Chain A
Amino acid sequence: MAAHADLWGDIAPSAVRTPASILREQGSLLGAKTNHLIEGQVETQISGRTFYHSFNLVVPALENYSYELFKIYHGVNIYPVQVGPPIDGLANEEAFVTWLGQKLSSPETKRIIGNLLAQANS
């Protein structure tokens, strides 16, 4: 009997940067920018074929008080990534990074972070 042939070919991780890894990078940058008074943490849940990632602002000085800034989700194909209404899907990494930049630097996000810093410092 012939030896079993390896039909898999080469296997390697996809070169695409996942939304979760992009969020984690931004989370660690936030820690550095706030003297680690606020940490950006990513929480991932998998339900069925969907990956949900919550981006949380965690304040260690307030007994790990946590504020969920937003949630995104995607399927096995990673992109498009869903960020919730009114935006449909973001088709690729570039679109996701653009959206994320607007979200993280928005006046609403600044208000929340400002409030958390005030409480963490009080």
Chain B
Amino acid sequence: MPITKFLFWNINRKPVADVVAELAAAQKAEVVILAESVISPRRLLATLNGVAGQGYHLSTGISKGITILTRFSREFLRPVFESDHVSIGRLMLPARSEILLAAVHLPSKLYWSNESQSFECVELARRIAEEEDRAKHQRTVLVGDMNMNPFEPGLVSSVGLNAVTARRIAERVTRTVQGRPYRLFYNPMWGHLGDVRGDTAGSYFYDSAEHLNYFWNVFDQVLLRPELAKRFDSDQLSIVKSVGERSLVRGDGRPDATLYSDHLPIVFELDF
């Protein structure tokens, strides 16, 4: 089956169109999803398409917080639900199974309590299930800046996104609590917590002088429904630290928030 490559990056309102263009070209990304972009669509398209061999289109979506560009015609990605921090669309490529692409930038811990963040996940899960019912399938990929780690209740709880650590568990499709079935996601980002791959031990770093501090966080995540998880290659999922000669991280492995963003991009491939 054909493979489609996705790139997600919260660019933190930085004027980094040229870096996005280099990154998209280097990764051969067919779908580029940006959060917190304040770059004008015209400039973004001109820069991305200025790089040889590119041919990006801007999605018809109008979400203020999510920008989506595709290397195929915009008619193949049809938004069905949006808000200023969520964009859900039906991706219908020729001769491929339709999938639902949900891109999000959930509210920050700066403004919302952990409990409110969890409730927002309940709402998001309900919305996704509703769109799946309308689309009559559950081939959904959810990607974005969750502003929560994979282990937090909003991500893990049955009424939230119900995203589990292992695809063998996700294969159950649903899990039942108190007689009620809840649809499962597989969250491969669990495998990116910690420094097993080097000094960059997550996608976002935050240090504060308080008792509970994770330092490294994996806020930027991709979650897959079981049908997509089955053919998902974990080796093709990475947190990106450099683009060509350009390093997106400092010497200590932390995101270089001065030159680029305080978040690192993630890339992954989907076979559908």
- A45 to B86: give the CA distance in the assembly, Å: 18
Instruction: Say whether, besides A47-B119, A108-B64, A119-B60, A65 and B126 are in contact (CB < 8 Å).
Output: no
Is the C-beta of B62 less than 8 angstroms from some C-beta in chain A?
A: yes
B76-107 interface (Cβ within 8 A of A): 78-83, 86
Cα A118 to Cα B82 in complex, Å, equals 16
Asked whether A112 lies within 8 Å of B126 as measured between CB atoms, the reply is: no
Residue B214 CB within 8 A of the other chain: no
Contacts of B83 in A (CB 8 A): 67-69
A112:B62 contact, CB within 8 angstroms: yes
Assuming the contacts A115-B62, A119-B60, asked whether A67 and B82 have C-beta atoms less than 8 A apart, the reply is: yes
* Chain A window 5-41, contacts with chain B (Cβ cutoff 8 Å), 1 for yes, 0 for no: 0000000000000000000000000000000000000
B206 at the interface (CB under 8 A from A): no
How far apart are B58's CB and chain A's nearest CB, in angstroms? Answer: 12
Contact yes or no, B81 A68, CB < 8 A: yes
Tell me the bound Cα distance from A112 to B84 in angstroms. Answer: 10
Q: Chain A's nearest CB lies how many Å from the CB of B65?
A: 12
A119 and B59 CA atoms in complex are apart in Å by 12
Q: Is B45 an interface residue (CB 8 A)?
A: no
Q: Known interface pairs A115-B62, A116-B62. Does A45 touch B126 (Cβ–Cβ under 8 Å)?
A: yes
Q: Report A-chain residues with C-beta under 8 Å of the C-beta of B80.
A: 63-66
Give a binary string over B120-155; 1 marks a CB under 8 Å from any A CB, 0 the rest. 001100100000000000000000000000000000
A119→B75 CA distance, assembly (Å): 12
Is there contact, CB below 8 Å, between B122 and A85? Answer: no
* In the complex, chain B residues whose CB is within 8 Å of the CB of A63: 78, 80
Binding site for A on B (CB under 8 A): 60, 62, 64, 78-83, 86, 111-112, 119, 122-123, 126
